[in-house]
Homo-oligomer: A and B are copies of this chain.
Amino acid sequence: MIKTNTRKSPEHTRQLVLSATLQLFTEKGYFNTSVRDIARESQVSIGSIYHHFNDKEGVASAMYNDLLKRMSESLEDIQRNNDSAHERCHAVIELLFKVTEEEPQLMEFMMYSKHREFLPDEAPICSAQPFMLMREMVAHGMETGEIQNLDLMVASSCLYGGAIRMITSRLDGIIEKSLLEYVESVWECSWRSIAVNQLV
């Protein structure tokens, strides 16, 4: 045996694998990444990977759920710390932009990866919890009278759609400056699109 991963903890190994996997999947995609690639990049042996996750799909699935969970936690924080829909939704867009800048790979995976091609049993991303929380905030805004009484899908698509489009453009390299510089102007447009008319 040439070298041995001096054992730390199962959790440590899992994290090694997951972070290498995120890196590789966002770089080359699921199908262009082999388990061997993951083993090489994470310095964890193939056998170990199969020991911790059952198969390649298990790795993808674990990673995906990790990311969704982290995202949901952030959104719940926002919900706790803000009362009005106006503040909450603004904070959401700021969060999404910040994550895009700080962890573009994470964002790319969540946005782009059409995970259903390799995780066919997962729900589509927009019925996943983070997006449901985002819609919930919009619904709350309708109740408090901040937001026009529209179809919920229409309202949340219009409110978040602009920001999401900015994110994908940024990830595709079409936008060169940091998204954080655009928060306020995107927010003004997005909010105006569905807010009840105030004095203009």
Contact = CB atoms under 8 A, between A and B. Distances in A.
Interface of A: 28-32, 112-114, 117, 124-127, 150-151, 153-166, 168-169, 172-175, 182, 185-186, 189-190, 192-194, 197, 200
Given A31-B31, A153-B174, A153-B175, A158 B189 contact: yes
13 contacts: A30-B31, A31-B31, A112-B114, A124-B172, A124-B173, A124-B174, A126-B168, A127-B172, A150-B185, A153-B169, A156-B165, A157-B166, A160-B165
A172 B153 CA distance: 13
Q: Copies per complex?
A: 2
A155 B182 CA distance: 11
Contacts of A154: 162, 166, 182, 185-186, 189
Given A169-B157, A200-B200, A162 B114 contact: no
A151 B113 contact: no
Given A126-B168, A186-B154, A200-B197, A29 B117 contact: yes
Contact of A31 (B117, B160, B162, B182): B117
Nearest to A176: B153
Given A150-B185, A157-B169, A164-B165, 6 more contacts: A29-B114, A114-B114, A127-B174, A153-B175, A157-B166, A161-B166
A158 B117 contact: no
A158 B193 contact: yes
B172 A126 contact: yes
A186 B157 contact: yes
Nearest to A181: B151
Contacts of A192: 192-193
B29 A158 contact: no
A115 to B, nearest CB: 10
A161 B153 contact: no
